[in-house]
Amino acid sequence: MHTPIQMVDLKRQYQKIKTEIDEAISEVLEHCTFIQGPQVKRFADNLQHYLQVKHVIPCANGTDALQIALMALELQPGDEVITPSFTYIATAEVIALLKAKPVFVDVDPHTFCLDLEAVSQAITPRTRAIVPVHLFGQSVDMQPLLALAEAHQLPVIEDNAQAIGCTYRFADGSAKKTGTMGLIGCTSFFPSKNLGAYGDGGAICTDDDALAEKMRMIANHGQSKRYYHDLVGCNSRLDSIQAAILDVKLRYLDQYIAARQQAANRYDAGFADIPAITVPYRAPYCSHVFHQYTILVPPEQRDALQQYLSQQGIPTMIYYPVPCHQQKMFSSLPYIAHSLKTTEWLSARVLSLPMHTELDEAQQDFIIEHIRRFFTKAYPQQP
């Protein structure tokens, strides 16, 4: 019999690295430097090295990372920011919070990421930035997007909350990590993310020295030196305990990604001969770090499948049931009917299966077996 299945199993992951984590936390407790302790700088340096980027600015969470990046661009009310509607709400929310206007564009049905043609059509004289989202652990096709942005002199702010560790390959053979290709990259260390803290956390990356300095100030009350405040900023810090934990987990990130990829391969093989299921597309230009393993199923069967799996003790999630443009908070934003067709089509079909670093073969076989059963013999002859 297999151990209980969760969408994300943080407990079993912790148990394996408990000694290192507990030591890292005690070190902070010994010194009581809870804010701006040496652990924060150490983690930022190590992450900078891992990502091969010039500056890493830790902050309180991924939403703040996006907000600080957009504050640094000095958006004016009414400025337009192009972003997908098929994303977590935070991406679009910070744009509206700063009184700019999110311009939602459609995604590609295979990658679930920004559709280049749609971005191109959405650019107007009021456009001030493009915010692509590396959804579910796979990179946006960045090379053509960066070329388009450059042609229009638009900064690209990458939402890398779900894809830390993903590598993008350019046509010339060079490679870069997601979050380091645009002007600014933003990531989240929410516990269930691929590099997760034991609380909230986030970071901002850039190769631009002046922008890095500005964002560091914004994240710390616009302060240039202690008690001298040059800009209106906010209070957004990664605390020392979270940094210490993240520094331990960063050492395991590539191993964790490999475990996710292995689980994804096992799912792929298990579903290969079920025509009703579309397994995640693997783009040729990047690795996939499988923050989520998201399949597409016929919309009329999705609820029944989810319910059937739940009865077997198999949790699943729908990311995202309501795209941003259909959220109440954006009900006053005009958008062109049918311009987000793929987004709406995906919302009706996506189903994310349990995916984490501790998923074992017995659990996966159980999940695969029940999904197979649903689409073949046992279902729909249920009692």
Ligand X SMILES: *Cc1c(COP(=O)(O)O)cnc(C)c1O
Shortest distance in whole angstroms from residue 330 CB to ligand X: 16
Which phi and psi (to 5°) does residue 381 adopt? -80, 55
Q: Which is nearer to ligand X, 324 or 371 (CB)?
A: 324
Interface with ligand X in residues 126-165 (CB under 6 A): 133, 159, 161-162
Contacting residue, 13, 39, 63, 236, with ligand X by CB under 6 A: 63
Q: Which is nearer to ligand X, 108 or 200 (CB)?
A: 200
* Binding-residue pattern over the window 68 to 87 for ligand X, x denoting contact by CB under 6 A: -------------------x
Q: Which is nearer to ligand X, 62 or 185 (CB)?
A: 62
The residue of the chain with the least Cβ separation from ligand X equals 62
Shortest distance in whole angstroms from residue 140 CB to ligand X: 12
Contacting residue, 84, 202, 280, 354, with ligand X by CB under 6 A: 202
Residues 6+ apart with CB under 8 A from 101: 78, 79, 80, 81, 95, 126, 333
E strand spans, 69-213: 80-84, 101-105, 127-130, 157-159, 167-169, 175-177, 184-188, 202-206
Mapped onto helix, strand or coil, the DSSP state of residue 82 is: strand
Which phi and psi (to 5°) does residue 207 adopt? -100, -5
Shortest distance in whole angstroms from residue 279 CB to ligand X: 21
Tokens for 114, please give them. Answer: 């920004």
* Closest to 136 measured CA to CA, from 94, 192, 82, 92: 192
Shortest distance in whole angstroms from residue 197 CB to ligand X: 9
Interface with ligand X in residues 85-104 (CB under 6 A): 87-88, 90-91
**Which pairing describes strands 184-188 and 202-206: parallel, antiparallel, or unpaired?**
antiparallel
**Which pairing describes strands 157-159 and 184-188: parallel, antiparallel, or unpaired?**
parallel
Residue 276 amino acid letter: A
Shortest distance in whole angstroms from residue 215 CB to ligand X: 16
Interface with ligand X in residues 267-296 (CB under 6 A): none
- Binding residues (CB under 6 A) for ligand X: these are 61-63, 87-88, 90-91, 133, 159, 161-162, 188, 190, 200, 202
